[in-house]
Amino acid sequence: DLAPGLDRSPIGAVPTGDLRRRIPFWANRESAAPCTYYCPVHIPTVDRLRLIREGQIDEAYEMLLRYSPLPASVCGSVCPNLCMENCSRQEVDDSIEVQVLGRAVAGANAPESAPAVGKKVAIIGGGPAGMNAAWQLALEGVDAHIFEKDTMIGGKLAQVIPWERLSQAVWDQEIKRFLDHPLIHTNLGVDLSQDDFKKLQDEYDYVLVAVGTHKPRKIPFPGHEQVLPALDFLKSAKGTNPDKIGREVVIIGAGNVGCDVACEAYRLGAEKVTLVDIQKPLAFGKEKEAAEALGATFQWPVMTKEVTDEGLVTDQGEIIPAQTVIISIGDVPQFPFLPDSVDTVNVAGADWIKTDTAHRTTNKKVFAIGDVEKPGLATHALGAGKTAAACIVAEIKGEEWKPFTKQLITQKALTITHYKPEAEHEHSQENSADRCLSCASCRDCHLCETICPEGAITRRELDITHASGYESGHGANYEYVSDDKKCIACGFCADTCPCGIWTMKPL
């Protein structure tokens, strides 16, 4: 037998109905596209691009603004764009340019909000986490009151990200749109005590802690007093009277913040910048590229023994000349106002607030979001703000909060042979919409309907209020269905679907 194990049972006719061993299943929006899955805010970029393809530009902008108040500043500028790093279009040519999509929304109007519900939430900290929490709550009719220690909102985005990476004009537009919301109230220059926190708990329905990390980590090697913390340097560099910088600069810590420090050092007059680290540098993406383009060099593994007037001395006795040494090994949170009812956990010598998947603390009326839980990107802070706000809104409405649980669609589910590589393409949102593979979301191309040899697949319109997978004002108002009486389970629909929607399930 040349094929042992082959099922040779006679089949009198091509099977249909219950005689089939597998059946086609139209799994539209059941899985998550890589861009949505890897985005900490879970922005459904494929839906945004579908709306753009349909000419619904305003609706596409509105949809994005329901996920973040800062799409142009973060998605379009400072984010390393995990969505682009994991974009399926890379298997054809280049990733979809999400930065272009983000920047296009800078001047868009805020979405319409729900009527006021008579509830209010106190948010301690006006960085990206606190801002998105306030934004999401306000869109749902909840009064959001921000208490910010600084003289402006925005956190590190406003304080330390160089204007070369974050356009001040774009930032000002988005801040104005945020502050113009009637249910968002800001209180600046507020330094809270435990008694103040208790008053907030008594006065507000919920309290969110979103103070970020603003205490630089230090290493107590000899000469550490001469070392300038990266956070202080970047704040000064972005101000009107920046610190003076030496001709040669050494930066301890070669992450993306270190790269921002390097770029600012060059802008302020440095001629040579060296970043050192005890491990392979964690810097990546456009921050690393920008630093290297200016001439910055990376050295590792390097252990700092001491800092002298000559520069940085390594544990091997080598001197790396420097008139300015800056340390960039991260920052930790401070929350002296926190009550005993909120537990913390000590990790790597610092206390962080303990939370669950909804960002709720051990006090059920207190949430903690952003870097006070653990360090992350600005998009992680935005995502935490959205999640916590969604949980609070669900409780206010007496509903169950549901976390994001969609699984990542597999690359093998897609049929990318339908797409031709483009050597060059326009850098526009319309071109991005055309190039999108629409992973896990039906593109309504009719290929399945056309290729079915038995004519078993048909497209039908749905009442949009009952459409499957219709979420947050976006989704499909149609579906493709297979007639069990005609389907022979050939699998052509699954094999040809470019979006990975059709799958064959065992019967």
pLDDT (mean) for 159-170: 93
* Residue for token pair 């993306």: 256
pLDDT (mean) for 486-507: 93
Is residue 348 located within the same domain as residue 206? yes
Is residue 30 located within the same domain as residue 89? yes
Handedness of CA 446, 404, 409, 49 (dihedral sign): positive
pLDDT (mean) for 92-114: 94
Instruction: Please check the confidence at residue 325 and state whether its pLDDT lies above 50.
Output: yes
Is the distance from CB of 348 to CB of 326 less than 8 angstroms? no
pTM: 0.92
Residue of 454, 441, 378 lying closest to 44 (CA atoms) = 441
237: its two tokens: 């560099």
pLDDT tens sequence across 194-206: 999 999 999 999 9
Query: Residue 244's domain spans which residues?
Result: 216-329
What is the model's pLDDT at position 468? 44
Number of structural domains in the chain: 3
Residue 9 lies inside a defined structural domain of this protein = no
Tell me the C-alpha distance between 60 and 396, whole Å. 28
**Confidence band for 3, pLDDT divided at 50, 70 and 90:** low
Paired sense of beta strands 184-188 and 143-148, if any: parallel
Is residue 136 located within the same domain as residue 183? yes
pLDDT tens sequence across 401-420: 999 999 999 999 999 999 98
Tell me the C-alpha distance between 146 and 378, whole Å. 18
417: its two tokens: 């042979």
What is the model's pLDDT at position 425? 81
Residue 303 lies inside a defined structural domain of this protein = yes
pLDDT tens sequence across 446-484: 999 999 999 999 999 987 654 444 344 445 688 999 999
Is residue 436 located within the same domain as residue 502? yes
Residue 124 lies inside a defined structural domain of this protein = yes
248's enclosing H/E stretch is: strand 248-252
Is residue 78 located within the same domain as residue 179? no
CATH of the domain at 145: 3.50.50.60
pLDDT tens sequence across 114-148: 999 999 999 999 999 999 999 999 999 999 999 99
Is residue 220 located within the same domain as residue 203? no
Is residue 195 located within the same domain as residue 295? no
SS3 (DSSP) at 273? strand
Is residue 98 located within the same domain as residue 180? no
Boundary of a domain, candidates 341, 372, 397: 397
For all residues of the chain together, what is the average pLDDT?
A: 93
- Which residue(s) pair with 209 in the sheet? 124, 368
Is residue 448 located within the same domain as residue 390? no
Which DSSP state fits 12? S
Is residue 419 located within the same domain as residue 436? yes
Handedness of CA 101, 104, 110, 111 (dihedral sign): negative
295 conformational bin, left if phi > 0, alpha if psi -120 to 50, beta if neither: left
Is residue 153 located within the same domain as residue 179? yes
